[in-house]
Structure 1
Amino acid sequence: MRSGAWSEPSAPTATSAAWRVSPGFAALKCAVTVVLVGVAVFLAGDPRALTAAIVAAVVAGGYALRDLLVPVRLAADPHGVTVINSYAGRRRLDWGQIERIRVDSRTRAGLRTELLEIDTGDHLHLLSTYDLNAHPGDVADELQRIRGLA
């Protein structure tokens, strides 16, 4: 390959995997933030509307910034997993620290939600389909497969 040529990122090996936020959804959050800033500028004459638009822009911008700072929410290898911790931090967990990996499914108001739960006894790490850009059940199966390689 020529120097400086663009190439596809390498695929994860059979012994490791990583799950990240959807780049399209992160871009949508950035676009919403820009639109809300534009609305705030447009509503500069109305203090209440301006305040509401600024608050909405800050909240949307905060979520978009987190997606840009820490796009990978979960990574696993034969030694353990790395999960997102707090706003933009990461926490490394050895397989021995993890007591249970399961999927919690709930139905509320006719909508079904599923969360991947990684339980260490002291902490419960919850990851949604949005966080993983994959079905939590599939991720749980892959984590168990990688854990079996340890």
Structure 2
Amino acid sequence: MDAEASPVGQWRVPAGVPLAKLAGAVALVAVGLLLAEGDPVQLTLVGLAVAGLVGWALRDLLAPVRLAVDPAGVVVVQGFAGRRLLPWATVERITVDRRPRLGLTTDLLEIDTGESLHLFGRYDLGAAPDEVAEALQAARPA
């Protein structure tokens, strides 16, 4: 089945996330130009950081749908902007991993196929990982 077939549900990066990354890149350029004072090493480091942020934002714009579900299985993003169908038969577990870190709790949706582990956070999905896990479990054939 084609990974682009009509999904039952899909989750995408919120529109504000790539915009925030691009705004961060612009701010980094401005701060870098003000503070680097023509130093080629500092300008190079700022340039690399800006290129990384722009690349990260570009990925969000080119492949905003990170996860989709249809009767055949789960479609996940693979590589920079590719897609991969995980048939239901290969999906062993769908869980939410909750970890406290620096006073905050981080939730990650985990889709385990035995051979690969796919992790998605709130900013990948545009929804709470708990809600997405419930939707995936509901869409999974009995």
TM-score normalised by the shorter chain: which range applies? 0.7 to 0.9
1:60 matched to which residue of 2? 53
> Residue 41 of structure 1: CA displacement?
5.2
Of 95, 100, 120, the residue aligned with 2:93 is 100
Provide the TM-score with structure 1 as the length reference.
Answer: 0.82
- Structure 1 runs not aligned, ≥5 long: 1-12
1:147 matched to which residue of 2? 140
Where in structure 2 are the equivalents of 1:13-24 lying within 5 Å? 16-24=8-16
Q: How many aligned residue pairs are there?
A: 136
Deviations 1:18-43 (A, max 9, x none): 00001011111122223334455554
> Residue 81 of structure 1: CA displacement?
1.0
Provide the TM-score with structure 2 as the length reference.
Answer: 0.86
Q: Secondary structure at the residue paired with 2:38?
A: coil
- Structure 2 runs not aligned, ≥5 long: 1-5
**Aligned Cα RMSD in Å?**
1.9
Does structure 1 residue 29 correspond to structure 2 residue 18? no
Deviations 1:121-144 (A, max 9, x none): 000000111100110010000001
The separation in 2 between residues aligned to 1:89 and 1:44, in whole angstroms, is 40
Q: Whose radius of gyration is greater, 1 or 2?
A: 1
Q: Secondary structure at the residue paired with 1:134?
A: coil
Does structure 1 residue 72 correspond to structure 2 residue 65? yes
Deviations 1:41-61 (A, max 9, x none): 554622232122101101111
Runs of 4+ aligned residues of structure 1 deviating over 4 Å after TM superposition are 38-44
The separation in 1 between residues aligned to 2:133 and 2:9, in whole angstroms, is 12
Of 74, 79, 82, the residue aligned with 2:75 is 82
